[in-house]
């Protein structure tokens, strides 16, 4: 895994090292316009596809089994799905801020999962602690309908 600030054109013409089969770009609309010919054959991944990769989001923010056991991880995945399904996170940037805020609440502040999610609501332009997620019964925390409320 590597990160680079090289242009799309650079990577399009660059020979990839042995064992590397793909390069993932996060390019702005302006960069795509500037490099139109260079990117015309590049497969685009829609933001909805990226947003739905809940496991990857949780892994990338460092919410490992040290912080979340199996059931809690499933509860978080359901909460993220709900944020997507209800359009509470209108953009991928907002969704990323929400996930990062949850991780910060758990890892840095030591909040339990439901409190961390409630605490992260301002990243969705919602009032902090307005979700009352700690009131969702344990057995219903895998239900997106409960988180949608």
Tally of domains in the chain: 2
Phi-psi region at 62: left, alpha or beta (left = phi > 0; alpha = psi -120 to 50): left
Beta-carbon contacts of residue 112 (< 8 Å; ≥ 6 apart): 106, 134
Q: Are residues 26 and 74 in the same domain?
A: no
pLDDT average, residue stretch 38-60 = 84
More confident residue, 12 or 55: 55
- Asked whether 58 and 52 are in contact (CB, 8 A), the reply is no
Q: How many residues are there in the chain?
A: 149
Look at residue 122 and tell me if it is in a domain: yes
Q: pLDDT tens across 74-126, in order?
A: 999 999 999 998 888 888 899 999 999 999 999 999 999 999 999 999 999 98
Domain that holds residue 16: 8-39
Q: Are residues 31 and 58 in the same domain?
A: no
CA 8 to mean position of chain CA atoms = 23
Beta-carbon contacts of residue 85 (< 8 Å; ≥ 6 apart): 144, 148
Q: The whole model's pTM is what?
A: 0.76
């Amino acid at each position: 895994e590597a990160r680079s600030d090289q242009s799309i054109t650079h990577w399009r013409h660059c020979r990839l090292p042995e064992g590397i089969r793909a390069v993932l770009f996060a390019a702005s609309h302006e960069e795509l316009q500037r490099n139109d010919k260079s990117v015309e054959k590049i497969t685009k991944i829609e933001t909805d596809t990226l947003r739905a990769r809940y496991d990857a989001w949780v892994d990338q923010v460092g919410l490992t089994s040290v912080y979340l056991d199996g059931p809690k991880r499933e509860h978080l995945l359901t909460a993220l799905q709900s944020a997507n399904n209800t359009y509470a996170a209108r953009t991928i940037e907002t969704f990323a801020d929400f996930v990062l805020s949850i991780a910060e609440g758990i890892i840095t502040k030591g909040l339990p999962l439901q409190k961390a999610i409630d605490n992260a609501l301002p990243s969705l332009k919602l009032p902090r602690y307005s979700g009352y997620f700690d009131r969702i019964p344990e057995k219903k925390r895998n239900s997106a309908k409960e988180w949608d409320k």
